[in-house]
Structure 1
Amino acid sequence: MRLSTRNQLDGTVTQVTRGEAMAVIHIRLTGGDEITSSITRDAADDLGLAEGKPVKVLIKSTEITLAVE
């Protein structure tokens, strides 16, 4: 599958926390960094997301904010 989204990161699911409507997915990226995604529970179930499953993280954003102290 080819996508227009340019920010594509490989990772592995490390934890899935399912709520009533949403699921929080923790992913360890190649290189060791971690990222978290909140998606619908239905989407998590449809994708079969579980600990140890390899995933591709696609990031499409119109704005990224950075802050420092």
Structure 2
Amino acid sequence: MQTSARNQFSGVVAQATAGAVNDEIIIAINGGQQIVATVTHDSAARLGLKTGAKVVALVKATSVIVMVDADATKVSARNFVQGKVTNLTKGAVNADVTITGDNGMAVAAIITNASVDRL
């Protein structure tokens, strides 16, 4: 499999909850972290997303939101990694940021240089 998604997390489906249109898939990955994915019911069936299935969750770096002084209890996003910036490379317009969680999970984010300066 080749993909441009920088964040690739291998795991196992811990729970799959079916809905009429979308299914909620909870993926257990290394370090005790979980990722919650919402996929269409048809896609979940086609991919065989059932408890115990091995999966890879892909998250584009441009889809990651970076916050400072965040309180996980006051964020509506279910996927939340708290950590420290371990790499920051500024380009002409955007910056490549790597955040490594306390459990060792690294997440890549692409944010604007203006956002880096503001944060």
The TM-score bracket by the shorter chain reads 0.7 to 0.9
**2:28 aligned counterpart, secondary structure:** strand
- Output the aligned Cα RMSD: 1.6
Q: 1:46 is matched with which residue?
A: 46
Decide which structure has the larger Cα Rg and report it.
Answer: 2
Count residues with an aligned counterpart.
69
Under a length normalisation based on structure 1, what TM-score does the superposition of the two structures give? Answer: 0.88
Q: Deviations over 1:47-69 (max 9, x none)?
A: 00100111011001434143338
Q: Distance in 2 between matches of 1:31 and 1:54?
A: 16
**2:32 aligned counterpart, secondary structure:** coil
> When you count helix as a share of all residues, which structure comes out higher?
2
The Cα shift of 1:23 comes to 0.1
Amino acid at match of 1:27: I
- Which blocks of at least 5 consecutive residues in structure 2 are unaligned? 75-119
Matched, 1:29 2:32: no
Q: 2:65 is matched with which residue?
A: 64
Pick closer, same or farther for the CA change 1:9–1:22 going to 2, 3 Å. Answer: same
